[in-house]
Amino acid sequence: MPELPEVEVVRRGLAEHVLDRTITEVRVDHPRAVRRHAAGGEDFAARLKGRTITAVSRRGKYLWLEIGEDEAVIAHLGMSGQMLVADAERPVEKHLRIRFSFADAGPELRFVDQRTFGGLSIHPLVDGVPEPVAHIGRDPMDPLFDLDAAVAGMRRRRTELKRALLDQTIVSGIGNIYADEALWRARLHGLRPTEKLTRRQGVAVLEAASEVMVEALAQGGTSFDALYVNVNGASGYFDRSLNVYGQGDRACRRCGTPIVREPFMNRSSYSCPRCQPRPRPRASRVF
DNA sequence: CCGAAAACCTGAACGC
DNA sequence: TGCGTTCAGGTTTTCG
């Protein structure tokens, strides 16, 4: 599941393999992959023909290819999206949705997406970011990321800490996996109410999120060959270094207590019941 | 305006 | 063996 580190791996791969190349043809094989492009698949393809990719950028989990000064192709990977660089002769993937050919006759770019939560679309750039990205907060790897402002943003909310971490308008790039990992590192439970979060706790959990994503990027960035811009969503980080995510019943690496899995928003949260004690239930006012 | 929850998808894993 | 159910989860949309 691509979160910030995985998307950054893809961005780097694309910067290496498609930057400065001119598109000659785009084929859209599945309409759902361009559903966010309001004018439709034919318009999407027509508008890219002859354009040159001038930059490959990212904010949080959003990735985009700039085509000149004022337009960009957003690529959101959703749950299962991949951007693959492949020789045209290579057999097509089962879930191939969109393919780009280039004027230099080099390898093509393929957008492959099994679950079709992802997609591509063209938008004007506004203050340097595509329109649909305007409401997304800066991520912790952004040089202009403002830690104190992000902490203040979380504390202003009246919700639970993990929900705030997943809110892409406050801090972007954090998904379910890195949220759980950051909470474990900061020794905080995701159910803690944000209005009672201290500044110090807020700083601790965001710094932990930043650290874990930097470490994941360092591992994930090492594993793709020249013609395959990886990306299974699985940076090498997945199995080896996760402390809580997916580790139900395994011993906590700090204290040995079995990690517990709890339902959370139709999915799961993992935490150490000893290192990350649940908040006390709110004193009941009724009665 | 805000937060919670449903909806959108496919395939692997699991239970009977 | 095979069928039905559950789970995975980022973002947008809908609801209260």
Residue A230 has pLDDT above 60, yes or no: no
pLDDT in tens, A109-149: 999 998 888 999 999 999 999 999 999 999 999 999 999 99
Could you give the percent of chain A with pLDDT greater than 70?
A: 90
Q: Is the pLDDT of residue A228 over 90?
A: no
Mean pLDDT of A76-86: 89
- Reply yes or no on whether A61 is catalytic: yes
Position A231 pLDDT exceeds 50: no
Give the mean model confidence (pLDDT) for residues A251-265. Answer: 91
pLDDT value, residue A246: 86
Does residue A267 have an active-site annotation?
A: yes
Whether A3 is catalytic: yes
The pLDDT value recorded for residue A128 is 92
**Picking from A63-72, A79-88, A99-108, which range would have the lowest pLDDT averaged per residue?**
A79-88
DSSP chain A: ---HHHHHHHHHHHHHHTTTPBEEEEEE--GGGGTTSTT-HHHHHHHHTT-B--EEEEETTEEEEE-SSSEEEEEE-TTTEEEEEE-TTSPPPTTEEEEEEETT---EEEEEESS---EEEEEEEETTEEGGGTTSPPPTTSTT--HHHHHHHHHHS-SBHHHHHH-TTTS-S--HHHHHHHHHHHT--TTSBGGG--HHHHHHHHHHHHHHHHHHHHHHTT---TT----SS--THHHHH-SSTT-TTSBPTTT-PBPEEEEETTEEEEE-TTTSPPPPPPPP---
Q: Which nucleotide is closest to the Cα of A176 by its C1'?
A: C9
| Residue A218 clears pLDDT 90, i.e. is over it | no
For chain A, domains (ranges, CATH) are 4-133 (3.20.190.10), 147-271 (1.10.8.50)
Catalytic hit among A2, A5, A107, A130 = A2
What whole-number percentage of chain A has pLDDT above 90? 66
**pLDDT tens-place string over residues A180-196:** 999 999 999 999 999 99
Interatomic separation, CA of residue A151 and C1' of nucleotide C11, rounded (Å): 23
Protein A260 CA to nucleic acid C16 C1', in Å? 32
